[in-house]
Amino acid sequence: MIPELGQLALILALALALVQATLPITGATRGIPAFVALARPVAQGQLIFVAATFGCLAWSFYVNDFSVLTVANNSNSALPVHYRLAATWGSHEGSLLLWVLMLSVWMVAVLVFSRSLPEEMVARILGVMGAISVGFLSFMLLTSNPFERLLPAAPDGRDLNPLLQDPGMVFHPPMLYMGYVGFSVAFAFAIAALLDGRLDATWARWSRPWTTAAWIFLTLGIALGSWWAYYELGWGGWWFWDPVENASFMPWLAGTALIHSLAVTEKRGAFKSWTVLLAILAFSLSLLGTFLVRSGVLTSVHAFATDPRRGVFILAFLALVIGGSLTLYAWRMKKVAPGGRFELLSRESMLLANSVLMLVACAAVMLGTLYPLFLDALGLGKISVGPPYFESVFAPLMAPAVLLAALGPLVAWRKGDAAELAKRMRWAAVAALVLSLFAPLLFGRWALLTTFGLFLSFWIFAGVFAALLARYRTRVKPTSAFAGMLLAHAGVGVFILGVTLVKSYEAERDVQLAPGGTAELGGYVFRFEGVQEVRGPNYQAARGTFIVTRDGKPVARMEPEKRIYRVQKNAMTEAAIDSGLTRDLYVSLGEPVANGNAWTAKLQVKPFVDWIWGGCLLMALGGLLAAADRRYRVPVRRREVPPPADATVIRREPA
């Protein structure tokens, strides 16, 4: 009964989405107030029905209704309750439902926080989001119905993939999807502005906090995913340049470029067409990510060919969204005059360089991700593009962007002063250079790349410090947006510091130990105490005990496990991690050897690895400060504000 109600709610949500995608936009174009007024209640209704659908699915998981196919495939009666709820979005169907739920949440957020926007604008924005919603809801109903029945019902479920039975999995997908879907707001703002024919600083000011908000969620989602891979996959890696990871990283890069370009459009009225293009790209890459992960092309291009329904649908939807928005862009954008003038050395040019670099890096990642798929699809052989490709392309492209990130905030808009810039940066730069030359000696090994990485990190800190000092001297109270920008930049510095140190000084050792045996790594002595059997709710585990000491003093007691999950019979390495500010100790248990008298194990020391996620957290916090800036909360009525001198007004097409 409950699943049928869920199905009904899903169909009703689609009906509302169809209304939302058509009538309000028509109303805004033709000037029919009744149609325009529909946007808000219809969007609210959609949230109610999508939430009801989601609730019904979650309920089916909660009560172990194994007559629902998704539940039978992804849950089990022995699965703890919180993982049963997380299993709601652990499945293909459920994750799509989560996507649409997030979209409805963003829609309602837009209508709640858009009181200062003209009603026609809101109608257009919600109309565009409604059209996206139509795409996803019909995708679910046509190819991935979450409420498909399994008759006769399965006696028990096939259980959730053990890798997903983890607290990180409870939060990672919702965060990531909030980010992915959040870019639909920036996209809808851009499309609405193109339809409306007005692209100006006010438009940029409206879409800025939304873009930043989506970017915050995406940053946190990616960081959570990386952290989850680090402790759950059991081998201590934190980024694999796996296609699934790249799928979330590409929209992040485009989104970061968009945030910086929006800053110029808001403050100076320049780069309008570039900003709109980036907004379209960021959301298109979010859709591409969804396509890559959800169509099955990554598992095998051939699996995609044998059951092409899902893939073809998303591909067609992707083509429609990207093609349609680019056509609209080409049609409307040519009327936009260039914005404010600026010199070669100016904040504008630095922000432009930054967003171009981000986009080029994004293209390089895309090439490495899609190239093997293309070759395979064309039958030209199977290849794999390894992490070294991504590292050797990505790092050189990002290094100049990082160098600019420190300078950007110090340079004036329109026309910068080179002498002034040199004066402001000079001592900070010398300090960064000296520190990065000598800091590697603290770790006992000097290498050029280490120094370079450290220099980038210290250079950013130096830039942040110089910007703070300059602001302090002017006695102007810094805005929350300014503080947020510097905090996010400092986060990039912390991130680079973590990456550089862990890449340069991590140590690992595979060992074979009998109980009582010891192994030394990086100054730490690991003593193996032995292994005992333990029973979990839905798994059996062998739990090893390691006592770690340094110079004879106890450091940690670590208990890695090797688990066998009862239903899926999968072995899983559950690593033990001792986290610290300056290093993580990481132990994963291998297998019994020598007739069960000894075990193999992997020991790792990872210096400053937690700084990687700490840096991401700072970036997100910086974004939060920036999005919370007062000026976004002061209502701006477009028609009442005299347009800035350099604002461009596109002539409206007669309807």
Q: Residues in the site for other proteins, rule: CB under 8 A?
A: 161, 163, 234, 299-300, 302-303, 341, 343-344, 349, 352-353, 356-357, 360, 363-364, 367-368, 371, 381-386, 388-390, 392-393, 396-397, 510-512, 568-573, 588, 590-591, 593-594, 598, 600-602
What is the 8-class DSSP label of residue 235? Answer: S
Q: Is 79 helix (H, G, I), strand (E, B) or coil?
A: coil
Smallest separation, CB 589 to other proteins (Å): 9
Using an 8 Å Cβ cutoff, are 18 and 138 in contact?
A: no
Q: Which is nearer to other proteins, 77 or 300 (CB)?
A: 300
Q: Which is nearer to other proteins, 5 or 163 (CB)?
A: 163
Around 571, how many Cα atoms within 13 Å sit in the side-chain half-sphere? 9
Using an 8 Å Cβ cutoff, are 543 and 643 in contact?
A: no
Smallest separation, CB 536 to other proteins (Å): 16
Q: Which is nearer to other proteins, 108 or 233 (CB)?
A: 233
Smallest separation, CB 571 to other proteins (Å): 4
Q: Which is nearer to other proteins, 580 or 592 (CB)?
A: 592
Instruction: State the distance between the two ends of the chain, measured CA to CA, in whole angstroms.
Output: 48
Phi/psi for 19 (5° steps) reads: -60, -45
Smallest separation, CB 394 to other proteins (Å): 9
Q: CA-CA distance, 168 to 130, in Å (whole number)?
A: 31
Please, is 370 exposed, middle or buried when counting C-beta atoms within 10 Å of its C-beta (0-12, 13-18, 19+)? Answer: middle
Around 644, how many Cα atoms within 13 Å sit in the side-chain half-sphere? 18
Smallest separation, CB 123 to other proteins (Å): 38
Using an 8 Å Cβ cutoff, are 539 and 566 in contact?
A: yes
Q: Which is nearer to other proteins, 601 or 618 (CB)?
A: 601
Smallest separation, CB 349 to other proteins (Å): 8
How is residue 154 written in tokens?
């399965």
Q: Which is nearer to other proteins, 32 or 163 (CB)?
A: 163
HEC profile of 455-522: HHHHHHHHHHHHHHHHHHHHCCCCCHHHHHHHHHHHHHHHHHHHHHHHHHHCEEEEEEECCCCEEEEC
Smallest separation, CB 367 to other proteins (Å): 6
Q: Which is nearer to other proteins, 189 or 599 (CB)?
A: 599
Smallest separation, CB 312 to other proteins (Å): 20
561-565 and 571-574 beta bridge pairing: antiparallel
Smallest separation, CB 107 to other proteins (Å): 36
Using an 8 Å Cβ cutoff, are 132 and 184 in contact?
A: yes
Q: Helix 243-268 and helix 167-196: axis angle, to 10°?
A: 40
How is residue 418 written in tokens?
């080179």
Bridge partner list, 521:
524
Amino acid identity of residue 7, one-letter, is: Q
Q: Which is nearer to other proteins, 182 or 243 (CB)?
A: 243
Q: Which is nearer to other proteins, 111 or 164 (CB)?
A: 164
Q: Which is nearer to other proteins, 64 or 573 (CB)?
A: 573
Using an 8 Å Cβ cutoff, are 390 and 362 in contact?
A: no
Q: Which is nearer to other proteins, 73 or 88 (CB)?
A: 73
Smallest separation, CB 574 to other proteins (Å): 10
Smallest separation, CB 483 to other proteins (Å): 31
524-535 and 553-558 beta bridge pairing: unpaired
Using an 8 Å Cβ cutoff, are 537 and 565 in contact?
A: no
